[in-house]
């Protein structure tokens, strides 16, 4: 089944289920968002991105939804596999004093059981 | 294409000692980031370079941390003197253009201060 809601630090699903990971961002002026996957002992790895002029973007088995009204971002993973087990972070491209910077949100640990 | 290279992978030092981390970004990437990731948290931006200039160091504890990117390519991050709370993974990332595309991360340097 699917798990939908506010940000959760952990999410446990069965193999084959769909997963939904949520993220709230803080700056309404942020114009670019990225979802990263981080496996133990590795650096964050790009999954999918979306610009603020879009509401939805699809990749292979992943979909990102952007709701600018409530400053909310979600990552949907279809047919979750054990290899999807990792920590997932959303990052926003936020304006700073000299341009923009990539700022990370709280992570969600996804555990997939067979 | 080679990824972001970081060294060393691991470092253990005593408090009040000094330590330096090295990063070689992807060739041609103008933007370079250093992040600190404490266990269980998302990466926190310490400093951002655009070529050899600093564009954001507002989160860098400047009394003990320093970073440079002299020729606009490699970068070093130094801590002097280290404190126990500096124990973390230090991630380097690079991006071809600030704020438009994703940042690519290295594997990080895990620092333990004892």
Number of H helices, E strands in chain B: 0, 11
At A14, the pLDDT band (50, 70, 90 cuts) reads very high
Q: Average pLDDT, whole number, for chain B?
A: 94
Nearest chain A residue to B5, by CA = A43
Instruction: Quickly list H helices, A1-114.
Output: none
The larger pLDDT score, comparing residue B100 to residue A19, is at A19
What pLDDT was estimated at residue A2?
35
Q: How far is B75 from chain A (nearest CA, A)?
A: 17
Q: A99 vs A106, B48, B97, B111, CA distance in Å?
A: 23, 10, 11, 30
At A97, the pLDDT band (50, 70, 90 cuts) reads low
What pLDDT was estimated at residue A26?
83
A-B CB pairs within 8 A amount to 68
At A21, the pLDDT band (50, 70, 90 cuts) reads very high
Tell me which H or E stretch contains B97.
none
Interface residues on B facing A, Cβ-Cβ cutoff 8 A: 4, 33, 35, 41-45, 48, 50, 55-56, 58, 91, 93, 95, 98-108
What pLDDT was estimated at residue A4?
32
What pLDDT was estimated at residue B66?
98
What pLDDT was estimated at residue B99?
66
Check residue B114 and report its DSSP letter. -
Residue A12, pLDDT > 70, answer yes
At B1, the pLDDT band (50, 70, 90 cuts) reads low
Q: Which of B89, B108, B92 is nearest to B40 (CA)?
A: B89
Q: How far is B76 from chain A (nearest CA, A)?
A: 18
Q: Are B25 and B103 in contact (CB under 8 A)?
A: no
Substitution target from A43, A52, A87, A99 for chain B, most B beta carbons within 10 A: A43
Residue A1, pLDDT > 60, answer no
For B44, counting Cβ atoms within 10 Å of its Cβ (0-12 exposed, 13-18 middle, 19+ buried), the class is: middle
pLDDT digits (tens, 9 = 90+) for B28-81: 999 999 999 999 999 999 999 999 899 889 999 999 999 999 888 999 999 999
Q: What percent of chain A has pLDDT over 90?
A: 75
Q: Average pLDDT, whole number, for chain A?
A: 90
* Contact: B55, A89; criterion CB under 8 Å: no
End-to-end distance of chain B based on CA atoms, in angstroms? 37
What pLDDT was estimated at residue A95?
78
């Amino acid at each position: 089944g699917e798990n939908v809601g506010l940000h959760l630090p952990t999410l446990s699903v069965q193999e084959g289920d769909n997963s939904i990971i949520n993220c709230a961002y803080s700056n309404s002026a942020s114009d670019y968002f990225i979802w990263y996957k981080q496996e133990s002992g590795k650096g964050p790895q790009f999954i999918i991105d979306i610009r603020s002029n879009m509401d939805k973007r699809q990749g292979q088995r992943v979909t990102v939804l952007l709701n600018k009204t409530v400053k909310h971002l979600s990552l949907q993973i279809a047919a979750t596999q054990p290899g999807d087990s990792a920590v997932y972070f959303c990052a926003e491209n936020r304006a700073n004093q000299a341009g923009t910077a990539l700022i990370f949100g709280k992570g969600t640990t996804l555990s997939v059981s067979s | 294409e080679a990824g972001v290279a970081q060294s060393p992978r691991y470092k253990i030092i005593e408090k009040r000692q000094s330590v330096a981390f090295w990063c070689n970004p992807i060739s041609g990437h103008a933007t370079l980031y250093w992040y600190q990731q404490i266990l269980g948290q998302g990466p926190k931006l310490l400093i951002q370079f655009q070529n050899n200039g600093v564009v954001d160091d507002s989160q860098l504890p400047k009394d003990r941390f320093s970073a440079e990117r002299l020729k606009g390519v490699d970068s070093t991050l130094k801590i002097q003197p280290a404190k126990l709370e500096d124990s973390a993974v230090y991630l380097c990332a690079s991006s071809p253009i600030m704020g438009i595309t994703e940042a690519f991360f290295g594997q990080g340097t895990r620092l333990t201060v004892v």
